[in-house]
Amino acid sequence: MLKNNFIELKGSVFTLLVLYIKNKSVSSVQNAILEKIMEAPQFFKNAPIVINVSSLSNTVNWNDMQKSIISTGLHIIGVSGCIDKILKCKIIKSGIPILLEGKNEVYCKQKNQKNNKFINKKKFNTKIINTPVRSGQKIYVNQSNLIVTNHVNPGAELIADGDIHIYGMMRGRVLAGVNGDKTRNIFCTQLFAELISISGEYLLIDQIPLDLLGKSVHIFLKNNILLIYPLT
């Protein structure tokens, strides 16, 4: 058998949380992470994350910072946003890969306003899914809106560069505007989502007001705050 038949390399899309570290104090960062984990322990349990260090310089004790983050139960799979050459060398020596900012960082916030204007002008297609989205199934549509006319089961994931419409019960995760477009929307007829997100801003189910659960809603961003309005 040819060796080339033993493996296969393919491109894919993964949903990753990006942890933005804005303070070089190891203990402060660790305590802040633990507080966030307490909000939704099952969601953050053994979660893979990308660390964004764009606010840090080489004065931070990277080895201690890395150990403190790992001690919270999170799994660091890469570091992004590093602009300090000395810090970059420290990170590489610690065995953590440096990731380039890009579309594969689904939760990475797009800060370039010119790019946002360019994105908004692009013509989007629409992908329609008429069958139930199974638990563990992930649907990603590139440069497209997504419409699901059926139920979305727990553990399923909908990801789109454009808007997302769910005409059924939504119990999984739904992420719109993952390319950084803050003008995108989520429409849902029965909201029970584990996570909702637009352009990197997200809410977990525990953070969704109880009076909106199970309701038809419109979700959008205003001043970088994720808002949920009932549809009448």
Instruction: Provide the pLDDT for residue 99.
Output: 83
Say if 101 falls within a structural domain: no
Q: What's the rounded Cα separation, in Å, for the pair 190 and 72?
A: 34
Q: Yes or no: say if 190 and 170 are a contact pair by the CB < 8 Å rule.
A: yes
Rounded to a whole number of angstroms, the CA Rg of the chain reads 19
74 and 27 in a single domain? The answer is: yes
User: Would the pTM count as exceeding 0.85?
Assistant: no
Angle at the Cα of 89 from the Cα atoms of 84 and 94, rounded to 5 degrees: 125
Q: What is the CATH number of the domain that holds 150?
A: 2.160.20.70
Query: What is the number of domains present in the chain?
Result: 2
Q: Yes or no: say if 216 and 201 are a contact pair by the CB < 8 Å rule.
A: no
Say if 12 falls within a structural domain: no
85 and 151 in a single domain? The answer is: no
Crossing angle of helices 26-39 and 62-71, rounded to 10°? 20
Convert the pLDDT of each residue in 75-115 to its tens digit: 999 998 888 889 999 999 898 998 875 443 333 333 444 44
Instruction: Provide the pLDDT for residue 108.
Output: 35
**H or E element, residue 123:** none
Longest dimension (CA), the chain: 62
29 and 119 in a single domain? The answer is: no
65 and 131 in a single domain? The answer is: no
Q: Yes or no: say if 70 and 76 are a contact pair by the CB < 8 Å rule.
A: yes
118 and 180 in a single domain? The answer is: yes
72 and 172 in a single domain? The answer is: no
**H or E element, residue 77:** strand 75-80
pLDDT under 70 in the chain at which residues?
1-4, 9-15, 101-123
Q: Yes or no: say if 152 and 171 are a contact pair by the CB < 8 Å rule.
A: yes
Instruction: Provide the pLDDT for residue 113.
Output: 42
Instruction: Provide the pLDDT for residue 111.
Output: 40
Strands (E), the chain: 17-20, 48-52, 75-80, 125-129, 138-141, 144-148, 157-160, 164-170, 173-176, 186-191, 195-198, 201-204, 217-222, 225-230
In terms of residue numbers, what domain contains 25? 17-93
Instruction: Provide the pLDDT for residue 115.
Output: 46
The token duo for 177 is 């505007």
Nearest C-alpha neighbor of 120 from the set 182, 175, 176, 186:
182
Distance of CA 12 to the CA centre of its chain: 15
Say if 33 falls within a structural domain: yes
